[in-house]
Amino acid sequence: MALTEINFDGLIGPSHNYAGLSLGNLASAKNAGNVSQPRAAALQGIEKMRANVRLGLVQGVFLPQRRPDTGWLARLGATPEDASLALLANALSASSMWAANAATVSPAADTEDGRCHLTVANLLTMPHRSHEWPETLEQLRLAFSDESAFAVHEPVPPPFGDEGAANFMRIAPSHGEPGIEIFVYGKTGGAFPARQHEEASRAVARLHRLEPDRTMFVEQSKAAVSGGAFHNDVVAVANENVLFCHGQAFANRDGFFAELRRAAPYAEIIEVPATRVPLEDAVSSYLFNAQLVTLPAGGMALILPTEAQDNPRVWGWLEEMLVGNGPIRQLIPVDVRQSMANGGGPACLRLRVLCDPSYVDPRFLVDEGKLDAMAETVAEYWPEEIDAGHLADAALWKEIRAARTALCETMGLPELI
């Protein structure tokens, strides 16, 4: 089985709004109450996927979830018509677009049974995300239904919060070789909650049947969490043998680096010092919430938000890195400003799955033609604007539902996933 990196992006849904629901996410809080642009947001996401396809990368997509989530409201004894605005906002959240939180993925090269394992994240720390996992599980079971190649697990049970691949990295000589799986958890962030529990990470490692001597559990620093790095992927990203991280990302930096170098002598650590790029700049620019990818022609590229290019300290350091002739040889800024305004950059929007694409349901894989069809559907059906103060508008709910129905028809997928 040839392992290929597939980037599955979450298409930004028609209910995309700025209700400011995510405690600890500084961008989400800053833009709370603003008017969102769901159509522009989804088209930005599609263009990001198109850019990946044009780089020669294999690209997949996950669909937006049904909104408002009437099933979740019913379990709370409410309906969209009688729910409070706060509860309704949680039921209308489009946060499933951030596919990095969909699941944690271990490729076949790392697992005891030689299958790719995926454990759907429970996301129980935040109410607006806690009801995502059942639909996420449906999509994962459909996309990765071949049990000879995949094992799809239900979420880790409460009370251990698990937020998926946003707190997970893998270091390996190449994608197809056995690697070191790194689970990053938090303990405290002052006023902000640490969302990834150590026990959840350890449970996922057991479910995936990983080798203990090739599995690491690393604590994120309190400074990072309190500084707005609510997930590890806001301060670190890895690809093949490269770890790219901020100097304040980890609680025990020296111990972690020493352990990683012992376990993976081939690892190359590129650390951005806080003296050059302060943590505040790293978080606001989402420098590390980037896709670090291996290009088909060789070498690595960093796909990062245009906000990183707008920050002189961040972009200056990146340009110096390129001059240094390291493994990252190309910088590719992408415009995902609508997602960024809600606290999610390029890496938030994707779930990386290393597997043989021939085993994946082809309806979840995209090419230029399929992206064109998706863009046409979005342009016709997605709301142009949503005012976060008008989420109780029944006409808006109808528009959101019709948009998702149209997308399912475009993709040839059942509406009830």
Could you list the active site residues? 163, 231, 348
Helix, strand or coil, per DSSP, at residue 330: strand
The helix-helix angle for 38-54 and 368-381 (nearest 10°) equals 170
Residue 232 exposed, middle or buried by CB count within 10 Å (0-12, 13-18, 19+): buried
Compute φ and ψ for 215, nearest 5 degrees.
Answer: -130, 130
Helix, strand or coil, per DSSP, at residue 382: coil
Cα separation of 413 and 393, whole Å? 28
Task: Specify the amino acid at residue 262.
Answer: R
What's the chain's Rg over C-alpha atoms? 20
Contact between 270 and 237 (Cβ < 8 Å): no
Six token digits for residue 133? 């996992």
Six token digits for residue 404? 């998702």
Q: Which among 178, 176, 190, 228 has a CA at the least distance from the CA of 354?
A: 176
Compute φ and ψ for 27, nearest 5 degrees.
Answer: -65, -40
Compute φ and ψ for 355, nearest 5 degrees.
Answer: -165, 180
List C-alpha distances in Å: 37 to 25, 92, 321, 339, 400. 19, 15, 35, 10, 13
Contact between 63 and 361 (Cβ < 8 Å): no
Six token digits for residue 381? 């059906």
Compute φ and ψ for 279, nearest 5 degrees.
Answer: -55, -40
Six token digits for residue 122? 């429970």
